[in-house]
Amino acid sequence: MSASSAAPARAAHATDLDRLAIDTIRTLSMDAVEAAKSGHPGTPMALAPVAFTIWKEFLRYDPANPAWPNRDRFVLSCGHASMLLYSLIHLAGIRRGGSADATRDVPAVSLDEIKKFRQLDSVCAGHPEHHMTSGIETTTGPLGQGCGNSVGMAMAAKWLAAHYNCPGHEVFNYDTYVLCSDGDLMEGVAAEAASIAGHLGLSNLCWVYDDNSITIEGETHLAFTENVGQRFEGLGWRVEHVADANDAAALRKALQAFKAEQKKPTLVIVKSVIGYGAPKKAGSHEAHGAPLGPDEIKGAKQAYGWPADASFLVPPEVPEHFAKTFGARGKQAHEAWQKTVADYAKAQAPLARELHDFLDGRLPSGWEAAIPTFPADAKGLASRVSSGKVLQALSAAVPWLLGGSADLAPSTMTLIQAEKSFEPGSYGGRNFHFGIREHGMASACNGLALSGLRPYCATFFVFFDYLKPALRLSALGNLGVIYVLTHDSIGLGEDGPTHQPIEQLASARAVPGLSVFRPGDANEVAETYRAVMRRPDRPAVIVLSRQNLPTLDRTTLGAASGTAKGAYILKDAPNGKPACILIGTGSEVQLCLDAATQLAEAGVHARVVSMPSWDLFAEQDAAYRESVLPAAVTARVACEAACGFGWEKWIGPRGKFIGMTSFGASGPAPALYKHFGITADAVAAAAKSLV
């Protein structure tokens, strides 16, 4: 039977329609995985009744307006079950864009796209990617990340409600629902995020845990025998149990308990059988990670009472059923919200103007004027200190700039002095306390960014590795999370090699779609923030020093505004004709300036280039890059207190690098720089050898 053939003749009343919809989700998932010869059919088959119940009866979402700010969020943290989500998006009739945009008033996921599941030109990627397909709230696949993102979404909803809601005008009150798996709950990031959520009492957050006892290697008892319910109770969550994923009444009761809960997040533990309905592979790990095969699919369809030879069959009653339940409820809720916002503009005019800037994704008028300029100062400031000053100023100008650190706010200078803390029962503050949970912090910040806020998070740069998986998804998903990473080098001194970053800069610079800044003085810090705030769709790493950096005299040196171009001429040779080029970042910019002075005394004319951001410099046109680093000048020395990996792109085959070739050591910063040969003398000597 073809996809246009008649539906199985059993849809006579509501319960039959529900079952028909559930089986349509299952068969679409099976057929798509089989057509792709790749994917995971078992979990979509097992969880179809769970997801359908959430969408049909609880999820508040307008299919015609998928970006409605007060929609409920649905996160498929077990992203390998992506066909479950694609089937739901298709059957629910979710559009690509708002109904006002006729060019995007088309299905977000058409049946043709489902038929191309996991193919290069399909919106139905192997794992859900939110920037690619409407209806997907966040990019998932790396297990546990969707759980972490959902905590940020729930935090955002609480903050938005506390900041904008007022009596008679409830602008924000959405909930976040998550489907997660055994694998999600084994990952540390989910545990960190769950601990944050329990501490904060995020009662608008519900995780539905698919307890199917299967992972890729086999049954979960191989490695996972903990009592998940008891663990979450210990974390401060409400825990509900559903003995059978197919029991809609029991699931409904559990979700109603979540809706009634006012003080805790909720975990619903649902027992399921993976690959439900498949005659041989049901309950086996084979159904988790591979197509079922034609014979198994026929058997499963026969078990559902489905035409065995039909592929990609969508009975017309199913989208109609979604439209009358899920769609109608969402449309009505969205229209009521629009009236609330319109009335809000009359009752709360100043706050309404701010709200409209936020909803439109527009920074408040005049925000750049808040960015300070720092006077020349030979003693200077640690760049972490100047960063803190810029952050204080910007926070006063941008109300939804908020964040915190992994228990290091006093050291990273990220506490907004004029603001309160975001804490249990008091959600209006802008200072977030993530605890010593770098990975959970970064993942939650992705959720905050997905909610329209501009979050920053902070820790020591060496702990970049602890949050890297979430940062990678910031870049993949075009999320403007600001990573404030301090104690950037051996310059932090006595804490020693366990805390001294060496390879982290190279690792950060290797991430596509990520801007990495290592500013050389306070005014480069200020210009870094200006550049970062202008790009809300690009995450940024701002790498900052513990030790003081002289604030350079810009009346005799290049303007710090060159930071926006990634690299610029800080000090040039006479007549702009250098014999060599010295390139520095961060604290080593001053070493390059000192080396240039030494070289000039020896009759060697050097150009000093400050290069705070490789990626921004690479974005400039060829003419600008040539004006800063002329190809004819091959005598180049780069100086950076980190490993030299990647510097050959800028210094060329003849160039020399002065930096780290080993881990650091414990001792005062000046002694360490001398010990490792990162000095102005070394830079000058290298340049002389090249000239």
Fold of 562-690: Rossmann fold (3.40.50)
Instruction: Indicate the pLDDT class of residue 221, thresholds 50, 70 and 90.
Output: confident
pLDDT of residue 215: 78
pLDDT reported for residue 452: 98
pLDDT band at 289 (very low <50, low <70, confident <90, very high): low
Instruction: Give the pLDDT of residue 101.
Output: 62
The pLDDT confidence band at residue 278, using thresholds 50, 70 and 90, is low
Q: Identify the pLDDT of residue 12.
A: 35
Residue 438 bears catalytic tag: yes
Q: So what's the pLDDT on residue 5?
A: 37
Average pLDDT estimate for 200-213: 96
Average pLDDT estimate for 231-248: 97
Write down the catalytic residue from 129, 137, 187, 438: 438
CATH superfamily membership of 367-550 = Thiamin diphosphate (ThDP)-binding fold, Pyr/PP domains (3.40.50.970)
560-592 pLDDT per residue, tens: 999 999 999 999 999 899 999 999 999 999 999
H helices within 218-324, ranges in order? 228-234, 248-260, 286-289, 294-304, 317-322
Can you give the pLDDT at residue 14?
47
Torsions phi, psi for 157 (to 5 deg): -60, -40
Q: How many CB atoms lie within 10 A of CB 396?
A: 13
Same CATH topology for 14-334 and 367-550: the answer is yes
Rounded to the nearest 5°, which phi and psi values hold at 74? -125, 120
Burial class (CB in 10 A: 0-12, 13-18, 19+), 121: exposed
pLDDT band, residue 270 (cuts 50/70/90): very high
Q: Dmax of the chain from CA atoms? A: 94
- Neighbouring CB atoms inside 10 A of 309's CB total 12
Distance CA 459, CA 483 (A): 8
CATH for 14-334 is: 3.40.50.970
- pLDDT tens string 617-634: 999 999 999 999 999 999
Confidence grade of residue 291 (pLDDT, cut at 50, 70, 90): confident
The answer on pLDDT for 649 being more than 70 is yes
Per-residue pLDDT, 660: 98
Given a cut of 60, whether residue 611 has pLDDT beyond it is: yes
Entry pTM: 0.95
Residue 346 phi, psi dihedral angles, 5° rounding:
-80, -35
Do 134 and 88 meet the contact criterion of CB atoms below 8 Å apart?
no
Which is nearest to 198 in space by CA: 168, 157, 164, 154?
154
Q: Are 47 and 179 in contact (CB under 8 A)?
A: yes
Pairing of strands 548-551, 377-382: antiparallel
Q: Is 469 exposed, middle or buried (0-12, 13-18, 19+ CB in 10 A)?
A: middle
Considering the chain, what is the average pLDDT of its residues? 94
Radius of gyration of the chain (CA): 28
Mean pLDDT, residues 511-533 taken together: 98
How many percent of the chain have pLDDT more than 70?
Answer: 95
**What pLDDT sits at residue 3?**
37
pLDDT at residue 286, rounded to an integer? 47
Residue 100 pLDDT? 56
Q: Is pLDDT larger for residue 340 or for residue 2?
A: 340
User: For residue 645, what are its two tokens?
Assistant: 């990996």
Least confident range from 10-14, 69-73, 305-309: namely 10-14
327 has a pLDDT exceeding 90: yes
pLDDT at residue number 213: 84
Angle at 428 between CA 423 and CA 433, to 5 degrees: 35
Tokens of 510: 């290797």
Confidence of residue 603 (pLDDT cuts 50, 70, 90): very high
Mean local confidence (pLDDT), 24-50:
96
Note the pLDDT of residue 103: 66
The pLDDT of residue 283 is above 80: no
Give pLDDT, residue 105. 83
Helices and strands of the chain, counted as H and E runs: 26, 21
Q: Average pLDDT of 398-426?
A: 97
Please report, rounded to a whole number, the percentage of residues in the chain having pLDDT higher than 90.
90
- Does residue 226 carry a pLDDT above 70? yes
CA distances from 601 to 90, 589, 684 (A): 72, 19, 11
In the chain, where are the structural domains located?
14-334, 367-550, 562-690
**Mean pLDDT, residues 595-601 taken together:** 98
Three-state secondary structure call for residue 644: coil
Model confidence band, residue 222 (pLDDT cutoffs 50, 70, 90) = confident
Q: Is the pLDDT of residue 119 over 60?
A: yes
In 440-575, DSSP assigns E strands to 454-460, 482-486, 515-517, 540-543, 548-551, 568-571
Span 88-108, pLDDT tens digits: 999 999 999 765 566 678 999
